[in-house]
Every structure is written in C-alpha cells, then in structure tokens.
Structure 1
Amino acid sequence: MNQDADHLIGLRDRGIHRLPVEHVAVDEIAVGFSPRTDGEDPDYVHALAETEGDLPPILVHRPTMTVVDGIHRLRVAAARGESHIAVRFFDGDRAEARLLAIALNVVHGRPLTSADRTAAARQILLAHPRWSDRAVGAVTGLSGHRISQLRKGTTADTAGHRVGRDGRVRPVDSSRSRERAGELLRSNPGASLRQIAAQVGLAPATVADVRNRLLRGDPPVPGATRTPTTRTTVPAASPTVPTVSATVPTVSATVPMVSATAPAVSATIPPPPPTALDARRPTPPAPRTSAPPPPPAPERLLRIFDSLRRDPSLRLSESGRNVLRVLSACTLVAQDREGIAAALPEHCKEPMAQLAHGYARLWTQLARELDAGEHPALSA
C-alpha cells in the first residue's frame, strides 16, 4: 500500500475517474467501508430514486466485491428493480479501500457530518500515527488544528517524526533542524535552499524562513531569545568595507569651526558594496494604501461547497459534475494553501503566482456576473 496522503488524494481526484466502467449484477455487490456513523439515509435514497437519468458509477473493491463509494446509489438501483449497475473497480488492499471511502465521501455525495469526519480522523491516526496533521486533514476534510487536538493524548502523539502529504519524513520539533540550517547558511551563504533542506530534513520553505530570519538579525528558531552574536555571525561574501585612510590629517586644535558651506563628510564616503546575502534578500513589496480583506475561513467555504454538491441538479448532469470537480479542486487550495506553496519547487513559484493572479481575476469576473451585489453566503 502506498503510504502517502497525496497518493490517496490523487486516486480520489483523478485516478478512479480513469478506470473503465463495467456493468455488474446488483446482487453480487456487498455493502461496507462506510465512514458514516449513522449508517444509510433512506430519505436520501428516495430523493435519488426520483431523479431522472443515470447515476454516476459506483466504486467497488474488486477482491471483496464491497462498495467503496456509492452505497446509496446501489440502494437506488435495487429500489428501481434494476438487475445491473455501472461499476468502477478498485484493486488496492482493504486498508487503502477504507481510506479511499473516507476521502471520496468528503468531497461529493451526501456530505459527511462533523462526527463522521472526526471518527474517520481517529481511524486514520490509529492506522497511520505518523501521518502529519495536514495529511490527515486533507483526507478527512478537517483542519490541521482540529487533527492536532484529536492527536493529543493518543499513541499518535508520541512519534518524533511525521510523514507529510508528499511522503517526506520531518521532525515534530524542528528547533534543532532550524539551528543546523542556520549554521549551514552562515558557513555557506551561496548554498541552495534545497541542498540545505535535504541535509537537515526540513522543507525548502522552512529553510527560506530561517534565512530571512538571519537576514533580519533574528534567531533561526521562532520565539528564541535574540543574542548579540546573531547578526555578526552571518558572513559577507565581499571584502570588508574600506576604512578611512590613515593619511587623512588630524584636525588641529587651532582650526576654526567648519563653515556652513563645507561639504558634509558623510557624503564623501562611498556606500559599502552589496554582499551575497544582500543579493538574496527578498525585494520588499510595494506599499499598499489599504490592506486587502481577509479571505473567508476554509470551513465556511467547505459548508457552501457541501450544499452545492448535495444539489441533484448539479450531481446528476455532466455539466454540473464538471462544475463540482472544479470546485472540489478549489477546496483543496482552501484547506492546504500553505502546504501547496511549500511543495512547489523554487523555479515554479513565479509562474504559479502568475496563474493564481490570473485565475483570481477570472473568478472575480465570474462572481460579478453571477451576482452584482455582495455574496450573503460568504459574508454571513
């Protein structure tokens, strides 16, 4: 079984949609792998049964012929008296099938309740205690802060290292790794962030934060006490700043006061040459006249998305499902924006930023076309 959360999310968002569709006898399929603590919803089955058109294929674990996703659709087929149902088969092991059942039910169909998500998160922490909070949250639809609360006091809270969504192992307490990164940056200012990150076991984004803290004269570990040596231990790559020549005559005691027309001494001293760290210092952003409004909370956006994906008029039409797939990708950004940014290679960040700015303008234009006024769902 692949132990990466990103692999599981990739299966959910892309992999299973590429699987071929087969038609299987309804009575050959068993029910299981449900993440719902309250079981099936007969009212939801009745509502689906009254809709027109074909329902999307269900996902079945081939080795056990057990439903991974689509129990209500299976019940609808039986209620309609249909002998066969459209099926996509998943060939992974049972443990991966259970995780996939959780991940799929988070993003479509009848939404999982908060209790369902919490129970699912506890199951994942029990099966994968070393998964990071963000990795578990990406699968269950809960925030990393909520996963951290559920982890406390359990066996999953004792591991010294955790596996992120990308499969990389990182320490829970990064203080020593940050200090080591600071030492490497001081001794070799020209080293790349990725080189240092690989040596100390941190993400490149974390090493970048350490570098910026050193440039400001702060300690590499947030919250640590600043020491007088913090600024002076970062070496400069250029020669030392030239000092005033020893041949400059000493001012005699009989020399009168400098007149108002005399040139300022400081104007004749050239500025020090830039150092290697100065060249790597990020360009400060242009000043803004006013701060942009904060984005809506991810939980609020998720609730709005949940209400949309429950709407049969979207779920049961091809165009509606395309819209929901786009919105599903947007929820991933809302839930793990920082993780996505940290996982990007350095050379991809600028083009990614250009895309994000462009898409943001298109989304803003679409929002204005849909509703010229304020969105009550986002401002409530």
Structure 2
Amino acid sequence: MHRLRAAKEKGWHSIRAEFFDGTAEAAFVEAVRANIRHGLPLSLDDRRSAAERIVTTRQDMSDRAIAECTGLSTKTVGGIRRRLNGDSSRQEVRLGRDGRRRPLSAAEGRRRAAEALTARPHAPLRQIAKAAGVSVGTAHDVRERMRRGEDPVAPRDRGKPRRPGGHQEPEAVPGDPAVTAGEQERKSRNMRARLQSLRRDPSLRFSESGRELLRWLFLQYQAKAKYPHVVENIPPHLAATVAELAIQCAEMWRSLAEELEDRAGRAD
C-alpha cells in the first residue's frame, strides 16, 4: 500500500508486484511476514496488533507459527491468545509454522499411533507417525511402550494438552517421577550407542559439516547427563532468561528434527 502510493507520487506508471492467491486473512499473514524481514521495521505495537488480528482470524495457527510471522516470542503470542480467547475457542488441531497440522492433545496423538501400530505392526515408523500426526520419536516411544505391555499414553501426557505453541510436552527429564531410574538408564545407553554408531560413519567423520553435527550431538548428550546439577545452581534472577534461551534451543532442535523427518519421508 505504501510503496504503491510512493510510486504514484513519483509519477511511475508500473511497479513490480507479487501476486498472491489466497484469502484476505492469509494475505495479511504473508504481508506481516514480509514486513518483518525487509523495509521499515514494524514497531512492537504494530507486531502485537498484527498478532492480535491473526489470533482472531486464524485461530488454527499455532503460537509458534504466529510468533515466527510477527517477530514476537511464542510466550507473548500465547498470552495474547489467552487474553483474547481464553478457553472459549480452543482448537483441537493447530497449524504449525512448517505447514503441518498437529493435535493439541499429546495423548490423542499417541492413541492414534497405537491404533495404527495395532493395525499395521510391521509398518515403518515414518508411516505410522504420518498416519497418526505425531513425530517419528513419539511413534517409536509408543511402539516400545506397547511391546512392554504399558499404556501407549505416557503418564506425563494423560489429561494434559500440548503447550500453547502447538508442540508436544517435552520429554521427561532426570528426576521426573514419571520416569523410572531403569528407563532413564536404558534411554541413556540407547542414545550413547546411536552416537557411537554415527561417530563411526565415514560420511560424517570425513566432512566438516558432519564433524560439526557430531560435536552438537555429543554436547547435548553431555548436557543431559549434567542437567540436574546445572539447574540446581542457576541463580533465581537468571532463571527466566535461561528458560527462554532453552526454549529457543529446543525449537531449533525440533525444527531440525522435523526437516530431517520430511527428508527421510521423501526418500522413502
């Protein structure tokens, strides 16, 4: 709108434009996303107003997707949604920033994965995950729980919705009563074995990007082992800052995992 007016005032008879095929609401989302990346930066008030409009008109979009579009934090968008909607317009499914639709209830997704595994016990996990609308990691966890004769819905997910961002509740950490010491040790051994296997793979060992990836993964493994001690010693006045950084790191790893899952699915 502003560029068009400037072009007319300069006496131009034509202007470069990008045609968009979609609803007015979808066009507004794209306009906000574009203005975040170039041109005169939107003020904080402008971004908050944009988020309020998107929350109202596109209630199926996840908090993370709206945050990525408006340049706000996921927590801020969640607060805007609660202020505007409360629980009166709660959606069962949210559209993530990767274009995927995910259920708000982690338990429901696990139940669908269990049903798919019962119907097709030998199907690849990626197919099960796609059919149930869950991650490959969740599908794997459901399969392992069923093999042990346990409820496919983990205790931490029973009766709990997904977080406002539209993604699943995080995996239980050491010290979580929902996870036994034996299960923690089993997961740790499994993770260590997979890392060692990756470390021996020539395609990673002999490339700079592969070695960088291995360093990232081993650093995460070490951080998980030292997690309780580190958390106990974080000063209270830094807790919120560290929490926000941890969330951003988790979102980066989740985006990486989703991109790799998509690539693996295309390869299949």
Question: TM-score by structure 1 length?
Answer: 0.39
- Per-residue CA deviation, residues 234-276 of structure 1 (Å, 9 max, x unaligned), is xxxxxxxxxxxxxxxxxxxxxxxxxxxxxxxxxxxxxxxxxxx
CA contact (8 A) 2:116 2:131 kept: no
Match of 1:221 among 148, 151, 154: 154
Alignment of 1:72-111 (within 5 A): 74-75=5-6, 78=9, 81-84=10-13, 86-92=15-21, 93-111=23-41
Partner residue in 1 for 2:126: 194
Partner residue in 2 for 1:45: none
Distance 1:191 1:118, change over 3 A: same
> What is the alpha-carbon distance in structure 1 between the residues aligned to residue 147 and residue 194 of structure 2?
13
- Per-residue CA deviation, residues 167-206 of structure 1 (Å, 9 max, x unaligned), is 4432211213224535765896643222222343323343
CA contact (8 A) 1:120 1:140 kept: yes
Please say which structure displays the higher CA radius of gyration. Answer: 1
> What is the alpha-carbon distance in structure 2 between the residues aligned to residue 134 and residue 174 of structure 1?
17
Partner residue in 1 for 2:95: 163
- Per-residue CA deviation, residues 302-356 of structure 1 (Å, 9 max, x unaligned), is xxxxxxxxxxxxxxxxxxxxxxxxxxxxxxx99765235224336549x9xxxxx
CA contact (8 A) 2:111 2:153 kept: yes
- Per-residue CA deviation, residues 6-30 of structure 1 (Å, 9 max, x unaligned), is xxxxxxxxxxxxxxxxxxxxxxxxx
> What is the alpha-carbon distance in structure 2 between the residues aligned to residue 151 and residue 135 of structure 1?
13
| Equivalent residue letter for 1:342 | E
CA contact (8 A) 2:7 2:15 kept: no
Distance 1:205 1:149, change over 3 A: farther
SS at 2:29 equivalent: helix
Alignment of 1:254-265 (within 5 A): none
> What is the alpha-carbon distance in structure 2 between the residues aligned to residue 149 and residue 174 of structure 1?
21
> Are 1:338 and 2:240 an aligned pair?
no
Structure 1 residue 166 displacement after superposition: 4.3
| Equivalent residue letter for 1:151 | R
Structure holding more strand per residue: 1
Partner residue in 2 for 1:239: none
Partner residue in 2 for 1:19: none
Alignment of 1:288-327 (within 5 A): none
> Are 1:285 and 2:217 an aligned pair?
no
Partner residue in 2 for 1:125: 55
> Are 1:178 and 2:110 an aligned pair?
yes
Match of 1:138 among 68, 72, 80: 68
| Equivalent residue letter for 2:91 | A
> What is the alpha-carbon distance in structure 2 between the residues aligned to residue 89 and residue 285 of structure 1?
46
SS at 1:196 equivalent: helix
Match of 1:112 among 25, 28, 42: 42
CA contact (8 A) 1:132 1:163 kept: yes
SS at 1:86 equivalent: coil
CA contact (8 A) 2:145 2:152 kept: yes
CA contact (8 A) 1:138 1:335 kept: no
> What is the alpha-carbon distance in structure 1 between the residues aligned to residue 135 and residue 71 of structure 2?
23
Q: How many residues are aligned here?
A: 194
> What is the alpha-carbon distance in structure 1 between the residues aligned to residue 252 and residue 127 of structure 2?
25
CA contact (8 A) 1:193 1:208 kept: yes
> What is the alpha-carbon distance in structure 2 between the residues aligned to residue 197 and residue 96 of structure 1?
28
Distance 1:161 1:334, change over 3 A: closer
Partner residue in 1 for 2:171: none
Distance 1:184 1:89, change over 3 A: closer
> What is the alpha-carbon distance in structure 2 between the residues aligned to residue 221 and residue 340 of structure 1?
24
Distance 1:113 1:134, change over 3 A: same
CA contact (8 A) 1:143 1:335 kept: no
> What is the alpha-carbon distance in structure 2 between the residues aligned to residue 139 and residue 161 of structure 1?
19
Structure 1 residue 218 displacement after superposition: 9.7
| Identical amino acids, percent of aligned pairs | 30
| Equivalent residue letter for 1:160 | E
Structure 1 residue 112 displacement after superposition: 1.4
SS at 1:202 equivalent: coil
Partner residue in 2 for 1:267: none
In structure 1, list runs of 5 or more residues that go unmatched. 1-66, 232-277, 301-332, 352-380
| Equivalent residue letter for 1:162 | R
RMSD across aligned C-alpha pairs, in angstroms?
4.7
Structure holding more helix per residue: 2
